[in-house]
Structure 1
């Protein structure tokens, strides 16, 4: 029997809160959280590049276009270097191996539509075949009428010596719901059929 979204969220909450491991993701999330104030998410115009200058190489912005695989609108220099190419207009979900692609598309859709942050553990393969470990943060922007929907994120490797990476796979992920945010019905429906580690921070 398939669990309801409420059952999934309760079971995940009992596993305990997990914090972001990478300091760059913690810093970017804290800045985004401060900029949103009492809103569910900040406007894109609220994010000032100069305020996160040291993180810009790892930050990207995605277009909310599921049919095109959520293409990159902007990608920092370090993100492009990790993939060995300019990522502008390239598919974000196509970076992932087939077994992870549907999940990352579902997560990206929930972040953009429900204005929930998400953090994920990722493994990748380097050019010499050795494994690489990264942490992905996805954060929404506030939606405005007549304005294309987009979201931002940060991709941070745990070692700078990996070189060019490929074949991304999700190893764990969780949403970052916290007051005044709450999981809404559409997100709960998705969680009911999602696989992987899901922990929701700040739920009451």
Structure 2
């Protein structure tokens, strides 16, 4: 992660999840993130296109309109929408955090580089699934609405290492002087 806002939000999210794959939505306190709220958003994962449930004021200004109810995927160029949808599917389905590089242009065709951070919430029964994140420009101050968003790169971050149960060893003596240990994890993985 390059942007300080992304680093701060990820650190808070990571602390709130307390070793779990993702924190519960109620564990994220807006007061603790007051300085980041303008760049933050929440999207619904249960509807096609990942519509915005909340979008901060700086994010709305960055894209030149009120985003509530609009689809996150529709902010990207037509040929990029499937790619960003697949990344969002990974975040919500696999419960992993993702940081992505985004390239956009202003109305006068000036290129702008942005950083997109996507953080899942824990899944709860009978509750709509949602993902949070933030979109921030890298570099100088951006003026004017951005358009033609393109995904340039992405990677998962802060993934917990997979924990395996202790191995169960069985000892076989094949021939005199040669011992073979067969390892088994005790699961089907």
Q: Does 1:154 pair with 2:142?
A: no
Compute the displacement of 1:179 (Å).
1.9
Asked if 1:176 is matched to 2:157, the reply is yes
Partner of 1:84: 64
Tell whether 2:11 aligns with 1:30. Answer: yes
Whose strand fraction is larger, Structure 1's or Structure 2's?
2
What is the alpha-carbon root mean square deviation over aligned residues?
1.3
Tell me the matched-pair count: 162
Unaligned runs of 5+ in 2: 164-189
Contact 2:17-2:23 within 8 A present in 1 as well: yes
- 1:199: which partner in 2? none
- Residues in 2 aligned to 1:39 and 1:103: alpha-carbon distance in whole angstroms: 27
User: Is 1:136 paired with 2:116?
Assistant: yes
State the TM-score, normalizing by the size of structure 2.
0.82
Higher-RCO chain (CA-CA 8 Å, sequence separation at least 6)? 1
Q: Which residue does 2:80 correspond to in 1? A: 100
CA distance in 2, matches of 1:70, 1:60: 11
> Is the helix fraction higher in 1 or 2?
1
Q: Tell me, yes or no, if structure 1 residue 55 matches structure 2 residue 36.
A: yes
2:53 corresponding residue in structure 1: 73
**Aligned residue for 1:123?**
103
CA contact (8 A) 1:132 1:162 kept: no
TM (norm. structure 1) is 0.77
CA contact (8 A) 1:61 1:153 kept: yes
Instruction: Mark the runs of 5 or more structure 1 residues left unpaired by the alignment.
Output: 1-19, 183-204
Structure with higher Rg: it is 2
